[in-house]
């Protein structure tokens, strides 16, 4: 079949099987490349329609498409959905009985299935390799391909072997790696592993124009949730919390208030989790309170809001979770509730992990970038796009920073005080000490270190230490200061700060620091 015929057939399958009229941006290009036999990396935001990028070629190409996917539950959902569409698909994983597995293997050999889903661990099994050598493999799709890269936020050692495995494969199928969260480093890694050049990378960008991002600081989180849920009236939403305990508490609180809600976390057994998931997906309840165990591969299109009750550890994880809102393209909100305690908790978890020092340092940097998202004055969508390497100037016009009504005020003098404190103490200290010096704290440690003699000591004595610390966070988020080190980072001046110190640049911030009356915080 020639190129044009294949494309036409792809278009026909899109309509006859899925009922869609046209391919989305990116889908067409990726599918064209695959049908031409070109190895491809496809980068699309969550909800962008990655599955079709291999499912349609699977139906057009002559042999079998192997899909490597990290989650067992996800495989089952995808295969069930395909079976419902009368597409012959199956999966092989550890949940199958020996006889079931044998039966599926026989049918694979008979050429019955067009798509086979497996976890990466399966690729190393001798028996499976034998099976593959007896069938005609046309395409290998690697889903959630960022799991291959150590720079990714969700690195999985089992994914690391995929590249070597591919090199030893006796056949030469086309390769498609798909992800929604590839920073430039991750993308480079994938290119190297899979020998894919720049031109073969198709990225539709990461922008989600229907999402409105909001960061809320210094609020009472429980009260916020109460009024938010009331205002949303029966709309579908997800609340992510970082621990099982927190999920249970929010769940308890909301159920007692009569909200239609279920919980989902790793401490529940599989049946309980699946009941919660089903109830939410089929609109039996409005809300799900969940840890990040919930969501990978969940295709619920009408989620109108995602609230993060706690700070996620990385921007990748945040964007992936928040991105579960508005998959249908309708306007939806992503609200992050910030508290300093969450940063400490995440930092503690990194410290306690058994990861090596380099890995910990990297995770710490990612956490700092996530924290900076909460303090930046920039457009929040733009911040995320910059994070993923897209240097756009465009602002979304609707996130909490874009619509902030607070006026921008000139804080150059105060910023200079911070910078000169950092400079005078020779960039040896972190945020806490610098804030203590500026507010003129009586802390004994300052005396011992002779920091009460620094000329800027007490210059911001009308501010609280917390406000100075928050101001430093803003200066860090805006790249005037750079954190160095991991566990107790010290702060250093950047070129931008030097310019401010020399009077060549001014610092404007939105009027929140020291002027907004704080509500009592419950955590």
What residues line the site for ligand ADP (CB under 6 A)?
A: 20, 23-24, 27, 44, 46-52, 299, 301, 327
Please, what is the minimum distance in Å from the beta carbon of residue 321 to ligand ADP?
Answer: 12
Measured from the CB atom, is 304 or 327 closer to ligand ADP? 327
Please, what is the minimum distance in Å from the beta carbon of residue 152 to ligand ADP?
Answer: 16
Please, what is the minimum distance in Å from the beta carbon of residue 482 to ligand ADP?
Answer: 34
Sequence-distant (6+) residues with CB within 8 A of 233 are none
How many Å apart are CA 92 and CA 104, to the nearest integer?
A: 8
Q: CB-side exposure of 362: number of CA atoms within 13 Å? A: 13
Measured from the CB atom, is 141 or 259 closer to ligand ADP? 141
Please, what is the minimum distance in Å from the beta carbon of residue 329 to ligand ADP?
Answer: 9
Please, what is the minimum distance in Å from the beta carbon of residue 391 to ligand ADP?
Answer: 23
Measured from the CB atom, is 326 or 489 closer to ligand ADP? 326
Measured from the CB atom, is 106 or 301 closer to ligand ADP? 301
Cα–Cα separations (whole angstroms), residue 52 to 5, 19, 209: 18, 12, 21
Measured from the CB atom, is 23 or 159 closer to ligand ADP? 23
Measured from the CB atom, is 217 or 327 closer to ligand ADP? 327
Find out whether 240 and 308 touch, Cβ atoms under 8 Å: yes
Which residue, 107, 175, 179, is CA-closest to 141? 175
How many Å apart are CA 456 and CA 444, to the nearest integer?
A: 17
How many Å apart are CA 86 and CA 17, to the nearest integer?
A: 8
Please calculate the CA angle 56-70-127 and round it to the nearest 5 degrees.
90
Contacts of 355-363 with C-beta under 8 Å, sequence gap 24+, read 357/486, 359/150, 360/486, 361/486, 362/151, 363/313, 363/314
User: What tokens were used for 401?
Assistant: 């920073």
Please, what is the minimum distance in Å from the beta carbon of residue 415 to ligand ADP?
Answer: 41
Measured from the CB atom, is 301 or 515 closer to ligand ADP? 301
How many Å apart are CA 344 and CA 488, to the nearest integer?
A: 11
Please, what is the minimum distance in Å from the beta carbon of residue 319 to ligand ADP?
Answer: 12
How many Å apart are CA 359 and CA 336, to the nearest integer?
A: 26
Sequence-distant (6+) residues with CB within 8 A of 326 are 47, 208, 210, 211, 303, 304, 332
Please, what is the minimum distance in Å from the beta carbon of residue 402 to ligand ADP?
Answer: 26
Which residue, 407, 380, 377, 409, is CA-closest to 394? 380
Measured from the CB atom, is 40 or 46 closer to ligand ADP? 46
Please, what is the minimum distance in Å from the beta carbon of residue 80 to ligand ADP?
Answer: 14
User: What tokens were used for 237?
Assistant: 């939403």
Measured from the CB atom, is 13 or 327 closer to ligand ADP? 327
Please, what is the minimum distance in Å from the beta carbon of residue 7 to ligand ADP?
Answer: 14
Find out whether 119 and 67 touch, Cβ atoms under 8 Å: no
Measured from the CB atom, is 48 or 152 closer to ligand ADP? 48
How many Å apart are CA 225 and CA 120, to the nearest integer?
A: 39
Q: Is 239 helix (H, G, I), strand (E, B) or coil?
A: strand
Which residue, 365, 338, 360, is CA-closest to 349? 360
Measured from the CB atom, is 30 or 215 closer to ligand ADP? 30
| Residue nearest to ligand ADP according to CB distances in the complex | 49
Please, what is the minimum distance in Å from the beta carbon of residue 232 to ligand ADP?
Answer: 22
């Amino acid at each position: 079949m020639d190129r044009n015929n294949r494309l036409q057939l792809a278009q026909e399958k899109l309509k006859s099987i899925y009922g869609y009229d046209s391919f989305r941006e990116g889908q067409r290009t990726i599918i064209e490349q695959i049908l031409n036999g070109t190895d491809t990396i496809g980068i699309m935001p969550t909800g962008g329609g990655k599955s079709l990028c291999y499912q349609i070629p699977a139906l057009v190409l002559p042999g079998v498409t192997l899909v490597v996917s990290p989650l067992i539950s996800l495989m089952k959902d995808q295969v069930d959905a395909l079976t419902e569409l009368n597409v012959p698909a199956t999966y092989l994983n550890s949940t199958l009985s020996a006889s079931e597995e044998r039966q599926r293997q026989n049918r694979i050999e008979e050429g019955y299935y067009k798509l086979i889903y497996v976890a990466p661990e399966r690729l190393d099994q001798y028996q499976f390799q034998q099976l593959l050598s007896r069938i005609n493999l046309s395409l290998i799709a690697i889903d959630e391909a960022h799991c291959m890269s150590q720079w990714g936020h969700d690195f999985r050692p089992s994914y690391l072997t995929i590249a070597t495995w591919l090199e030893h494969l006796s056949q030469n199928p086309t390769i498609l790696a798909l992800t929604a969260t590839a920073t430039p480093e991750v993308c480079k890694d994938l290119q190297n592993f899979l020998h894919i050049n720049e031109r073969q990378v198709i990225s539709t960008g990461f922008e989600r124009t229907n999402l409105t991002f909001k960061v809320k600081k210094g609020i009472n989180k429980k009260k916020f949730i109460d009024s938010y849920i009331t205002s949303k009236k029966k709309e579908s939403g997800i609340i992510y919390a970082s621990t099982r305990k927190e999920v249970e508490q929010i769940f308890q609180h909301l159920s007692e208030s009569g909200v239609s809600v279920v919980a989902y976390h790793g401490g529940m057994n599989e049946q309980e989790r699946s009941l919660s998931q089903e109830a939410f997906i089929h609109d039996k309840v409005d809300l799900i309170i969940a840890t990040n165990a919930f969501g990978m591969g969940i295709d619920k299109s009408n989620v109108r809001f995602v609230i993060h009750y706690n700070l996620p550890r990385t921007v990748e994880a945040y964007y992936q979770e928040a991105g579960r809102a508005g998959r249908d393209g309708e306007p939806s909100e992503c609200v992050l509730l910030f508290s300093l305690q969450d940063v400490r908790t995440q930092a503690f978890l990194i410290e306690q992990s058994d990861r090596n020092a380099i890995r910990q340092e990297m995770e710490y940097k990612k956490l700092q970038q996530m924290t900076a998202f909460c303090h930046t004055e920039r457009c929040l969508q733009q911040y995320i796009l910059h994070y993923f390497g897209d240097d756009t100037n465009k602002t979304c016009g609707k996130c909490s920073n874009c619509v902030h009504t607070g006026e921008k005020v000139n804080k150059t003098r105060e910023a200079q005080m911070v910078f000169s404190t950092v400079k005078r103490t020779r960039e040896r200290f972190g945020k806490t000490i610098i804030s203590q010096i500026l507010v003129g704290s009586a802390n004994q440690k300052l005396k011992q270190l002779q920091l009460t003699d620094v000329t800027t000591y007490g210059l911001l004595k009308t501010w609280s230490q917390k406000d100075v610390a928050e101001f430093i966070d803003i200066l860090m988020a805006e790249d005037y200061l750079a954190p160095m080190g991991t566990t107790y980072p010290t702060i250093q001046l950047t070129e931008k700060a030097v310019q401010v110190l020399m009077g060549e640049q001014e610092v404007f911030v939105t009027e929140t620091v020291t002027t907004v009356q704080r509500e009592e915080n419950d955590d």
